[in-house]
Amino acid sequence: QKEVEQDPGPLSVPEGAIVSLNCTYSNSAFQYFMWYRQYSRKGPELLMYTYSSGNKEDGRFTAQVDKSSKYISLFIRDSQPSDSATYLCAMGFRDYKLSFGAGTTVTVRA
């Protein structure tokens, strides 16, 4: 069993829809949780970072962490074609030693 399981997708949504992305994990020691966005043939870029349970909001993005269920989510509101990318969840018990999900590819249709 992988330490981090990510819903594989792919997801295709119309512009303006809410995108919901999910990951589960097995290591209860994980306390740092991140979401990265990766455009085709580019390096991942950090979107959200949190180390506590609950919600964190940044503009159109909301990260949700439920440590009791070992489950994290990323919501993208009012999705735009520029949000079309692969989204990677990442987590670890140290924020410099991360385990990544396999990624979910999202396409936002104009």
Partner 1 sequence: NAGVTQTPKFQVLKTGQSMTLQCAQDMNHEYMSWYRQDPGMGLRLIHYSVGAGITDQGEVPNGYNVSRSTTEDFPLRLLSAAPSQTSVYFCASSYSGGYTFGSGTRLTVV
Interface ranges with partner 1 (CB under 8 A): 4, 6, 34, 36, 41-46, 49, 88, 90, 95-103
Within 8 A by CB and 6+ apart from 88, the residues are 6, 35, 36, 37, 38, 44, 100, 101, 103
Q: Show the tokens assigned to 48.
A: 């959200």
CB 88, CB 35: distance < 8 Å? yes
Q: How far is the CB of 44 from partner 1 (least distance, A)?
A: 5
What DSSP assignment string belongs to 12-41? EEETTPPEEEEEEE--TT--EEEEEEE-TT
CB-wise, 5 or 17, nearer to partner 1?
Answer: 5
Q: How far is the CB of 43 from partner 1 (least distance, A)?
A: 4
CB of 8 to partner 1, least distance (A): 8
Closest to partner 1 by CB, 76 or 90: 90
80 CA to centre of own chain: 17
Is 17 or 22 the residue whose CB approaches partner 1 more closely? 22
Nearest approach, Cβ of residue 4 and partner 1 (Å):
8
- Which residue number, 53 or 99, has a Cβ lying nearer to partner 1? 99
